[in-house]
Amino acid sequence: MSNQNFANRGRPNSRLLVILAAVIAVGALLSLSFVFLQADEYGVVISPLSPNGYRAQALGPGLHLILPVIESVQKYSIASQTYTMSSTSIEGALQGDDSIQARTKDGQQIFIDASVIYGIDPNQLIPLHITWQNRYEEMVVRPVARAVIRDAVSQFGVEELVSTKRTELETAIRDKIKSSFAENHILMTDFLVRNIRFSDEYAKAVEQKQIAEQQAQQAKFVVEQKKQEAEQARQTAQGQADAAVIAAKGAAEARLINAQAEAQANQLLSASLTPTLLQYQYILKLAPGVQTIFIPSGNQFILPLPDTTTPITPGQ
């Protein structure tokens, strides 16, 4: 009797376990029936019920219903991604020196650090999945970028890349990568040349050239400075010469004016002289202290008087 009661007591517990298991199973099926995709996610539905093994239309962001157990979803991010190839291991996608080695058209070896910014085209997700699945980065992004960079570098001389053609190189690489990515259902957003390094030999040659150019510029500066100093000295000498000429002209003009003044004075003096005045002055010169001279009547003067009839030339 007690055993029967124990058995009866166990039956409800068994039913409860079954019901609980059924609820769990249904919950599991329901959870497997829905898939949620984030705002930057798209998904390819893998379905054995479809002729090609996948649904023809990719799923966009949001909640979607699929057949539990039978179907599954392969998720892909459509957000922008950056693939970097750099000589600095902490920057690149791969460890170690992952820069691109390339040769210019004149045979110089250079090393390029670069980044490719790209994303998956959601409208081309099904072809991408068929061709590459999740291997598109290692099978498309990396090899295509490196090949395009090497090919583009070979079209330029090393001097062009050092000076004026770097932007042109970036543009050529960007256009070619964009075209090649589009053929493989990938959108390229941008391409960046992070750094260009040269071989040690060429870098040393460039350094020596820069030193020589700096020395040449310095020598040119010195020559120009000397020219300016010479020009300054010439202008100073010219100024002194001009001043001397001006001074000489002034002195000559002063002498001429003095001579003219003296000539005019002599002319005035000559015009003012009379025979009587000349005789009087002559007597004064003979004896400055003599006030009066008495001459005997009928006797000749003791000294001949000057001939007052001869005109006096000015200046005598």
How confident is the model at residue 288, as a pLDDT? Answer: 58
d(CA 49, CA 69): 12
Give me the CATH number covering residue 95: 3.30.479.30
Q: How far is 290 from 283, CA to CA, in rounded Å?
A: 9
- Domain end marker among 198, 231, 250: 198
Question: Are 29 and 136 members of one domain?
Answer: no
Query: Does residue 92 share a domain with residue 50?
Result: no
| Same domain, yes or no: 71 and 111 | no
Q: Which residues pair with 112 in a beta bridge?
A: 100, 196
Average pLDDT of the chain is: 80
- The CA distance from 30 to 44, in Å, is 20
Domain boundary among 31, 60, 76: 76
State residue 80's pLDDT score.
95
Q: Which residues pair with 117 in a beta bridge?
A: 82, 190
- Window from 16-30, 228-242, 248-262, 284-298 with minimum mean pLDDT: 284-298
Question: Are 98 and 70 within one domain?
Answer: no
**Whether 43 and 151 share a structural domain:** no
Could you identify the residue written with the tokens 């005045």? Answer: 277
Asked whether residue 279 falls in the same domain as residue 256, the answer is no
DSSP classification of residue 107:
S
Give the model confidence (pLDDT) of 149-181 as tens digits.
999 999 999 888 877 888 999 999 999 999 999
Do 30 and 69 fall within a single domain?
yes
243 or 26: which carries more pLDDT confidence? 243
Q: What is the DSSP letter of 114?
A: E
Q: What is the pTM of this model?
A: 0.57
The per-residue pLDDT for range 174-231, each reduced to its tens digit, is 999 999 999 999 999 999 999 998 877 776 766 566 556 666 777 677 778 778 887 8
Distance CA 103, CA 111 (A): 9
Number of domains within the chain: 4
* Range of the structural domain that residue 124 is part of: 81-198
Q: Examine the domain organization and report whether 188 and 130 are in the same domain.
A: yes
- Residues 6 or more apart whose Cβ sits within 8 Å of residue 7: none
Each residue's pLDDT tens digit, 83-111: 999 998 788 888 888 999 999 998 889 99
Q: At 307, is the pLDDT very low, low, confident or very high (cuts 50, 70, 90)?
A: low
| 227 and 210 in a common domain | yes
Write down which residue in 146, 173, 198 finishes a domain: 198
